Chain A
């Protein structure tokens, strides 16, 4: 199918295009210079044209997501999706079923989503669900920091072998990158314990969180992976933890050489000043100052949205703390030799002091970090809010008035401690395009995503907004509505949504990194690991591996390692 999108206001930050009226031509699923012959024309006059949205951190598939679905039948009753001629039925709200997840992302103009944490042992499950999430391309980050074999190697400083093993795992389970979750702390959770600082010892491995983060940062470079290490810091969700965050960012400063080497995820959850929940305040200024001065770090928000959420993370000990505080339902699910997971339903309330502070931290950070290429819009779905809330976040960032409307309703003591009311910055459409697509695609190393240059994947979102007429600062509701329901979503060169409704059900690709590791190193490492593997795990190494034909549409990215 050939498509010509005519006369739209194009926002394509990777190609430095800021609202120019342009035509975008599509052929064979790619952006091309021009098209001729039988062409489907889309009149995008007075509309915004952007690359398809790229979400770099969302929990949409796998064992903990499904446990979250199982845990909350009460959540599903209030949000159902009927079967149509095109769409499969499902349920929505905080943890939507697979088909519904794909449709809802697509309806907002999103075309690529990264499942942000999957335990390698259960990644087959993740891929099964990803196969059932239609409409978007996807991939998954593998939780590797508390893996016993990784820890054994890191503690002996055998980085090459560790890199070869991680390369093998990513190939074997079809993962995309290295996820770190509360390094060391999750291993200690196997005994019901946790770490408190990045220099705590993790017995019996004789290693500290600092050494784990640094080791994996080095390995990430040795493997030449497209995305940096993706860090969920220690002490997440704990008052005073902004110091841990800054320490964690500092600890890889010497490894950067000017390039970006670290992505810290859902920073709102690790931006807390104060010594208790009563004295909690925002650490956004300090974090933003550090990030503005140090160019080697990217962040995503984990922005709180008031209302229901289902918190879920591999950070088992944090979830136990949240259970102890909230007394809500609690699932814990440890995975042998690798990681853990915890799930607790939660409701963020405007009148709650802590929740209001949490809400302000994310927005303060986004407004204080100067470079939009290094801070991205997420809600850590479904932890801080739902991915379907992204249009709300866009409105808050583009409009001080929209923020003030919420500020009138939040806890008064919290408001008195916020710097948010004093922040004047309002994001432009160009900046919104960066934090929702161009920047995230760049951070993930997805070269054909997030832009509309020749040869890019023809993933395009068109929003019914005239940037010359609308003032997002005042008309934030119109902005919100438009981003909720894209006028058109084009995926791989096909019109898949029109006026926010799915018009064609398609399957997306699953990306994974096929890392080229020197044969000798790989063979010697695997023969060394095999015995340990079978001692630590309850499955055979052969059965741990996932075959490419188990992926519905496999899209390997060939990576030449630096090993």
Chain B
């Protein structure tokens, strides 16, 4: 039995890098230090795998060679007048770098899952900036941690033990030295371990953030309650924020996707910015997919924009709402799709999913998803971080190298290698 230490878990945006994996005969037999989500990934990655490339001929799928699948993919992309390329948050930066070149070459639109998760966060930052840090600053210094519209105990189970409430930092060593606040519409698992739980009326985050800003900057609020929260509680929280030594506000989709969207984020960022007049305060998004942050970064350094980039003019063009794939699909504008490491059919609104199913889709993915089921071409790939190496960025932008720990099934290659083949054929090399 072989043991590999310090493996980076490629499940969520926490990218925990202390995983111990035991391997026997090219199989993972035991995993230590993961949360239940990571454990499930490491132990079940080889289930429901696609093992052969396939093309839909008339109504049935037919297994084909990799070369034939690539040829068909190239044909679809070359014949399209406005193709979309989507996914990327569950693969490596190296794969996306090839994807960017393909999108540019065919004059398509390239987008990542930020479009449907933290897109408003980015738009908020583009409007007013942000005061942020890496997670280690929170671990070492934060005596006040606020989770807003996020439930890490379910979505990022080791976030609290590695980086926040239960972590041991240089200056703040124990749970007792930290105050934990949860703001949510319901009492979540995370709320039940918080010092203070603030239950707000659904869809009223903006009001509460504005009230907090008012309390922080101006003092007394005239109303008795805002967003279903008594003013005394708001003022108490404002006072806690002003008087802490280092505060951190961590927010999830509860804030990005409730009405107001990027205006909510702007309000949260503005609150944190204001707090820096009195103390040190940072804000951090709770990113879901393990490399959605990497996808934003690669897209940004290549084009200047972090998601939703349209190359149809021959140069990068960005206008969320116009160039985001959900909108392009809803308007029925695209005529082919290349999906890499993502399952839009499961996640897009039903009407958009229906429209997407009407155009030829090429999907590159390790396993079966509703998207592979309706694709024209399916090319199976290996798992980055288990069967192939690559770079991914943690939710706070810390880049880590994912390891290869076992061999992929026979004949299966990585997203990066598949995309290189597609690019090469498209170029006519």
A76-B316, A192-B280 known; A331+B125 contact, CB < 8 A: yes
Instruction: Classify the secondary structure of A's interface with B.
Output: mixed
A70 close to B300 (CB less than 8 A): yes
Stretch from A246-254, A427-435, A441-449, A538-546 that touches the partner: A538-546
Interface stretch, picked from B38-46, B127-135, B144-152, B413-421, is B127-135
Task: For B303, give its contact among A72, A97, A190, A547 (CB under 8 Å).
Answer: A97
Chain B residues near A542 (CB, 8 Å)?
Answer: 5-6
B245 within 8 A of A: yes
Q: Which residues of B contact A97 (CB under 8 A)?
A: 301-304, 316
Q: How far is the CB of B63 from chain A (nearest CB, A)?
A: 34
The reply on A504 being an interface residue by CB < 8 A is no
Closest residue of chain B to A331 (Cβ to Cβ) is: B129
Shortest Cβ gap from B99 to chain A (Å): 13
- For B8, give its contact among A69, A329, A536, A543 (CB under 8 Å): A543
- Does any Cβ of A come within 8 Å of B282's Cβ? yes
State which of A69, A90, A121 has its C-beta within 8 Å of the C-beta of B134.
A121
Q: Given A190-B280, A330-B131, A334-B282, A540–B18 Cβ distance below 8 Å?
A: yes
Q: How far is the CA of A535 from the CA of B172 in the complex (A)?
A: 12
Whole-angstrom distance between the Cβ of A64 and the nearest chain B Cβ: 10
Contact of A536 among B18, B136, B297, B398 (CB under 8 A): B136
Q: State which of B162-170, B180-188, B345-353, B357-365 sits at the interface with chain A.
A: B162-170
A355 to B128, CA, bound (A): 24
User: Which residues of A226-265 are within 8 A (CB) of B?
Assistant: none
CB-based contact B315/A82 at 8 Å: yes
Identify the stretch in A8-16, A124-132, A399-407 within 8 Å (CB) of chain B at 4 or more residues.
A124-132
Q: Is the CB of A124 within 8 A of B399?
A: yes
Q: Which of B387-408 contact A (CB under 8 A)?
A: 391, 393, 397-401
For A538, give its contact among B128, B163, B302 (CB under 8 Å): B163
Q: Is B217 an interface residue (CB 8 A)?
A: no
Give min CB distance, A55 to chain B, whole Å: 19
Give min CB distance, A359 to chain B, whole Å: 26
Contact of B139 with A122 in the complex, beta carbons under 8 Å: no
CB-based nearest A residue for B168? A535
Interface residues of B, count at CB 8 A? 62
Indicate if the CB atoms of B276 and A320 lie closer than 8 Å: yes
Q: Is A98 an interface residue (CB 8 A)?
A: yes
**Are the C-beta atoms of A336 and B401 separated by less than 8 Å?**
no
Partner of B316, one of A66, A90, A337: A90
* Contact residues, A341-376 vs B (CB, 8 A): 343-344
Question: In the complex, how many angstroms separate the beta carbon of B313 from the nearest chain A beta carbon?
Answer: 8
Taking the nearest CB of chain A, how far is it from the CB of B275, in angstroms? 9
Contact size class for A?
A: 35 or more
Q: Is A105 an interface residue (CB 8 A)?
A: no
Say yes or no: B129 contacts A329, CB within 8 Å.
Answer: yes
Contact A329 B300 (CB under 8 A): no
Q: Is there an interface contact between B301 and A69, defined as CB atoms closer than 8 Å? A: yes
Chain B residue nearest to A88 (CB atoms) is B104
In the complex the two chains form, what is the Cα distance from A433 to B370 in whole Å?
62
Complexed CA–CA distance, A255 and B208 (Å): 58
A538–B134 CB distance below 8 A: yes
**A61 to B298 CA separation, bound complex (whole angstroms):** 12
Contact between A543 and B132, CB atoms less than 8 A apart? no
Complex contact B132–A148 (CB within 8 A): no
Asked if A37 lies at the interface with its beta carbon under 8 angstroms from chain B, I say no
Within 8 A of B (CB), among A151-176: none
Quick one: closest B residue to A538, CB to CB?
Answer: B136
Using Cβ atoms and an 8 Å threshold, which residues of chain B touch A537? 136
B20 to A: closest C-beta gap in Å: 11
What residues on B are CB-neighbors of A335 within 8 Å? 133-134, 136-137
Interface string of A87-113 (1 = CB under 8 A from B): 011110001111100000000000000
Expressed in whole angstroms, the Cα–Cα distance for A46 and B280 within the complex equals: 60
Q: B132 and A333: CB pair below 8 A?
A: yes
- Is B246 a contact partner of A191 (Cβ separation < 8 A)? yes
Using Cβ atoms and an 8 Å threshold, which residues of chain B touch A65?
Answer: 301
Answer whether residue B252 sits at the interface, using C-beta atoms and an 8 A cutoff.
Answer: no
Tell me, in angstroms, the Cα distance from A50 to B101 when the chains sit together. 34
B346 vs chain A, min Cβ distance (A): 28
- Would you call A71 an interface residue if the criterion is a C-beta within 8 Å of the partner chain's C-beta atoms? yes
Q: Within the assembled complex, what's the spacing in Å between the Cα atoms of A292 and B346?
A: 69
Given contacts A538-B162, A540-B6, contact A336 B135 (CB under 8 A): yes
Q: How far is the CB of A508 from chain B (nearest CB, A)?
A: 16
Whether the Cβ atoms of A69 and B300 lie closer than 8 Å is yes
Measured between C-beta atoms, what is the minimum distance from A103 to chain B in Å? 13
B80-93 vs A, Cβ < 8 Å mask (1 yes, 0 no): 00000000000001
As a 0/1 sequence over residues 22 to 47 of chain B, the CB contacts with chain A under 8 angstroms (1 = contact) are 00000000000000000000000000
Are B127 and A329 closer than 8 Å at their CB atoms? yes
Q: Most A CB atoms within 10 A — which of B101, B140, B304, B399?
A: B304
The answer to whether B397 and A63 touch across the interface, beta carbons within 8 angstroms, is: yes
Asked if B399 contacts A336 (CB within 8 A), the reply is no
Most B C-beta atoms less than 10 A away, residue of A122, A191, A192, A331: A192
Return A554 CB to nearest CB of chain B, in Å.
Answer: 15
Residue B411 CB within 8 A of the other chain: no
Please indicate the chain B residues that have their CB under 8 angstroms from the CB of A122 in the complex.
Answer: 397-399
A336 touches B6 (CB 8 A): no
Q: Which residues of A contact B168 (CB under 8 A)?
A: 535
Contact B315 A90 (CB under 8 A): yes
Please measure, in the bound complex, the distance between the C-alpha atom of A102 and the C-alpha atom of B163, giving whole angstroms.
37
A336, B303: Cβ atoms closer than 8 Å? no
In the complex, the answer to whether A132 meets B97 with C-beta atoms within 8 Å is yes
Q: Across chains A and B, which 7 residue pairs bring their CB atoms closest together, nearest first?
A: A336-B136, A334-B133, A91-B304, A192-B280, A124-B399, A329-B129, A76-B304
> What are 26 A-B contacts defined by CB distance under 8 Å?
A70-B306, A81-B315, A83-B314, A83-B315, A88-B104, A98-B302, A122-B399, A124-B391, A124-B400, A128-B298, A148-B170, A189-B280, A320-B276, A330-B128, A331-B125, A334-B134, A336-B134, A344-B129, A538-B136, A538-B139, A539-B17, A540-B6, A540-B18, A542-B6, A543-B6, A543-B17
